[in-house]
Amino acid sequence: MASPAGMRKSPPPPEWSAVTRFFRPNGALSRTHPAFESRPGQVAMAEEVERALEGNRKLIVEAGTGTGKTLAYLVPALLSGRRVVISTGTKALQEQLYFRDVPFLERVFGEPLRVCYMKGRGNYACRQKIYDAENMPVLSGLEEVADFQVIRDWEKTTETGDRAEIRTLPEGSTAWAKIDARSELCAGQKCKQFERCFITLMHQRASEADIIIVNHHLFFADLAVRREDQAKILPDYNAVIFDEAHEIEDTAGQYFGFIASNYRVQELRRDVAAMSRTRKFGSEELDRILTRLEEVALQFFDKLPGAEGRGSFLSRGEFLDQHHETYTDLLAAFDLLASHLKLIQDAPQEIIPLFRRALELRQAIQFLIESEDQRFVYWIERRGRGVFLQATPIDVAEVLREHLWNRVDAAVLTSATLAVAGGFEFVESRLGLEGARTLVAPSPFEYDRQALLYVADHLPQPSSPAYVKAASEEIVKLLNASRGRAFVLFTSYQQMRQIYDRVSFGIEYPVLLQGTGPRMALLEEFRETPHCVLFATSSFWQGVDVPGEQLSCVIIDKLPFAAPNDPVVDARIRNIRESGGNPFYDYQIPQAAIALKQGFGRLIRTRSDRGVLALLDSRITRQRYGQVFFDSLPDYSFTMNMSDVEKFFDV
Ligand code: SF4
């Protein structure tokens, strides 16, 4: 690849690397970016990323808000001459990189860059299904028909087939679910549309690209299939860069575990029935087999223990003794379906993925019920009518070491929240990356001037029965001081509801409550409504950006320790204890410190933002471990007096 356009005129000093030359004052970046300011944190990070890619190293970087970390990894990746996968926490960040940062860098470099993005197959349209839907009655209701018409017209012109291009399509569009390109019903190379299939085109673009932008879900889905020595989703790559790397442990856990649910069985049954109609391999016998599968699956999932929510499944042996017949009936029903599909004469290609799904689901259920592998925690979640039986690796460090860090040449992990009290031991041990190089790239913000941290030290402990009333009164005072313009963030849904009921009538500002509308719609309303207040839980603690005065106060109810009765958290705690560690100091405090930093990180997004962070949990000042939280947060000004908060807003 050529050097950036602005760097060709005068030969640079030999001691400066390509990356340093790019970011230095009067370098390529400053010539293209009208508001360029050299940021030491950005330069330091970019140089470390360059060294990691060149020297085949592993690197962990905490890059505070405003560092400009995206360019600090994109530029060295582009200049490295290697194929680099960049994995982000969300599809929104993927799009931001591809549609905002890459075009900007193309202007700087003065040439097109070989960058593409890949998302999961469910994001793309299946041309064959769209054509089939035109001729067969698969759509129901006016809304589905209207959505389908939009999709059909768009399919004729889109180059990518990515649903994100259709801004008007509702998030949960049922028409989309009937025509998306998920692999379950894909005929692959035998499909008439294969050459012009959006999935084929996506893979072609990826095979020609230097940089492939994916999200963590797709990345770990790929890693999981590679581990099984099955096919791969991504082309081979030399290096990986994880943005929002604090989410890796949870996402990896999902893909290296097992899951079975009543919904998955129902979907399989529905897909086989629908495909047997469209591809004409239906029969009375197949109907009987599907009905039997549905019946025994219903019995099996009904008999699983547990109430609404997540709980450990410690009684698997007992369950098997009591319900052995139902369990073996279910396995037999899968076997019957699989052998029936296999024996169909002149079977269409679409049968193969259905056959594979029946076998995989059967294997998953057998593992979930019978496996004695102690490296997993076995648990059940009930959500409304859904029953999800799961096995999650207790410690993903070993899996990542074996299947990722040892196989990839270079890896960079970055996020605004990775360090605990300035150190990286927590993330290193959780992810199996001991010995990686580390860097804290400082934010250019003046936190002590821009933000005031207020701790309501006088409140009762969060576990006290008096807490809800006292915290509600405190929130009213804070919201009056900030004149609304606040996020009130909670660690539990129940506490949010209780406090919302008390506070919403006590203030004169408009109040929004999580759960009363889609997340993006609530956020949009918050941005557009003067003096608005939003009550929310964990999904608003990260990935939310509201720069400016509209968000001037972030209130957090308590230190965000993960619920110790959650089956996965509980298993990790026990595992650390059994290995001789101290789960509270080694796991629970560091995890909560990172979460607190994430939540408070919503407030200051630019150099001109200012506001108050309020914590309604006195344990941070009264317990010895509170110091770890203070040491992990940026250098905010600090007070325990409400009068300072009022003064701050009076300025
Ligand atoms: S190859 Fe698969 S995803 Fe692509 S159009 Fe054909 S059936 Fe649909």
| Span 479-524, pLDDT tens digits | 999 999 999 999 999 999 999 999 998 899 999 999 887 788 889 9
Asked if 321 and 335 count as a contact pair (C-beta separation under 8 A), the reply is no
Look at residue 188 in the predicted model and tell me its pLDDT: 87
Look at residue 381 in the predicted model and tell me its pLDDT: 96
128 C-alpha to ligand 1 centroid (Å) = 6
Look at residue 228 in the predicted model and tell me its pLDDT: 73
Residue with tokens 């379906």, as numbered in its chain: 337
Q: Does domain 5-114+401-441 have CATH number 3.40.50?
A: yes
The answer to whether the CB of 419 is under 6 A from ligand 1 is no
Mean pLDDT for 98-112 is 93
| Span 516-525, pLDDT tens digits | 877 888 899 9
Fold classification of 258-393 is Fumarase C; Chain B, domain 1 (1.10.275)
The answer to whether the CB of 133 is under 6 A from ligand 1 is no
| Span 138-162, pLDDT tens digits | 778 888 889 999 999 999 999 999 9
Q: Is the pLDDT of residue 458 over 70?
A: yes
Which architecture does CATH list for 447-650?
Answer: 3-Layer(aba) Sandwich (3.40)
The answer to whether the CB of 127 is under 6 A from ligand 1 is yes
- For ligand 1, atom 6, the nearest C-alpha belongs to 191
In sequence order, what DSSP letters do the residues of 43-106 get, joined into one string? HHHHHHHHHHHHTT-EEEEEE-TTS-HHHHHHHHHHHTTS-EEEEESSHHHHHHIIIIIHHHHH
Lowest mean pLDDT among 84-88, 149-153, 305-309: 305-309
Largest pairwise CA distance in the chain:
81
- For ligand 1, atom 2, the nearest C-alpha belongs to 186
Pairwise CA distance, residues 374 & 513, whole Å: 41
Half-sphere exposure of 111 (CA within 13 A, CB side): 9
The answer to whether the CB of 181 is under 6 A from ligand 1 is yes
Q: What is the mean pLDDT of the chain?
A: 92
The answer to whether the CB of 588 is under 6 A from ligand 1 is no
The answer to whether the CB of 193 is under 6 A from ligand 1 is yes
539 C-alpha to ligand 1 centroid (Å) = 34
Q: What percentage of the chain exceeds 90 in pLDDT?
A: 77
Mean pLDDT for 119-125 is 96
Lowest mean pLDDT among 33-42, 299-308, 390-399: 33-42
Lowest mean pLDDT among 29-33, 430-434, 534-538: 29-33
351 C-alpha to ligand 1 centroid (Å) = 14
**Beta strands 553-556 and 410-415: pairing type?**
unpaired
Crossing angle between the packed helical segments 262-278 and 284-303, to the nearest 10 degrees = 170
Tokens of residue 146, six digits = 């209207």
Nearest CA-CA partner of 331 in 299, 286, 284, 306: 299
* 258 bridge partner residues: 391
Pairwise CA distance, residues 610 & 606, whole Å: 9
Q: What percentage of the chain exceeds 70 in pLDDT?
A: 97
| Span 364-402, pLDDT tens digits | 999 999 999 999 999 999 999 999 999 999 999 999 999
Q: Is the pLDDT of residue 3 over 60?
A: no
The answer to whether the CB of 186 is under 6 A from ligand 1 is yes
Looking at the CA of residue 194, tell me the nearest atom of ligand 1. 1
468 C-alpha to ligand 1 centroid (Å) = 54
| Span 156-186, pLDDT tens digits | 999 999 999 998 888 778 899 889 998 877 8
Q: How confident is the model at residue 651 (pLDDT cuts 50, 70, 90)?
A: low
| Span 560-573, pLDDT tens digits | 999 889 999 999 99
Half-sphere exposure of 189 (CA within 13 A, CB side): 0
Asked if 73 and 243 count as a contact pair (C-beta separation under 8 A), the reply is yes
Mean pLDDT for 189-217 is 96
| Span 269-291, pLDDT tens digits | 998 998 888 788 889 999 999 99
280 C-alpha to ligand 1 centroid (Å) = 18
Mean pLDDT for 112-126 is 96
Looking at the CA of residue 189, tell me the nearest atom of ligand 1. 1
Crossing angle between the packed helical segments 324-343 and 351-370, to the nearest 10 degrees = 160
Nearest CA-CA partner of 574 in 205, 254, 312: 312
Q: Matching CATH topology for 5-114+401-441 and 258-393?
A: no
Q: Is the pLDDT of residue 36 over 80?
A: no
Look at residue 9 in the predicted model and tell me its pLDDT: 41
The answer to whether the CB of 131 is under 6 A from ligand 1 is no
Q: How far is CA 287 from the centre of its chain?
A: 39
Q: Given ligand 1 and candidates 119, 123, 194, 195, which is best to mutate, with the most ligand atoms within 8 Å of its CB? A: 194
Look at residue 5 in the predicted model and tell me its pLDDT: 38
Look at residue 15 in the predicted model and tell me its pLDDT: 64
The answer to whether the CB of 197 is under 6 A from ligand 1 is yes
- For ligand 1, atom 4, the nearest C-alpha belongs to 197
| Three-state DSSP state, 387 | strand
CA dihedral (544, 549, 555, 556) in degrees, to 10, reads 20
**How would you label 380-413 residue by residue, b for 16+ Cβ within 10 Å and e otherwise?**
bbbeeeebbbbbbbbbbbebbeebbbeebbbbbb
Q: Given ligand 1 and candidates 123, 129, 204, 279, which is best to mutate, with the most ligand atoms within 8 Å of its CB? A: 129
Crossing angle between the packed helical segments 142-155 and 127-135, to the nearest 10 degrees = 130
Hey, which bits of 104-163 come out as E strands? 115-117
173 C-alpha to ligand 1 centroid (Å) = 20
The answer to whether the CB of 123 is under 6 A from ligand 1 is no
Domain ranges of the chain: 5-114+401-441, 120-198, 258-393, 447-650
Looking at the CA of residue 126, tell me the nearest atom of ligand 1. 8
Looking at the CA of residue 350, tell me the nearest atom of ligand 1. 7
Mean pLDDT for 108-135 is 93
Look at residue 456 in the predicted model and tell me its pLDDT: 97
Q: Is the pLDDT of residue 12 over 70?
A: no
Pairwise CA distance, residues 615 & 595, whole Å: 13
Looking at the CA of residue 181, tell me the nearest atom of ligand 1. 3
Mean pLDDT for 330-341 is 96
Q: How confident is the model at residue 8 (pLDDT cuts 50, 70, 90)?
A: very low
The answer to whether the CB of 125 is under 6 A from ligand 1 is no
Q: Is the pLDDT of residue 10 over 60?
A: no
Residue with tokens 């650390």, as numbered in its chain: 576
| Three-state DSSP state, 308 | coil
Distances (CA, A) of 281 to 153, 264, 294, 347, 348: 31, 22, 19, 7, 8
Looking at the CA of residue 188, tell me the nearest atom of ligand 1. 1
Q: Indicate yes or no: pTM above 0.95.
A: no
- For ligand 1, atom 8, the nearest C-alpha belongs to 126
297 C-alpha to ligand 1 centroid (Å) = 30
Q: Is the pLDDT of residue 631 over 90?
A: yes
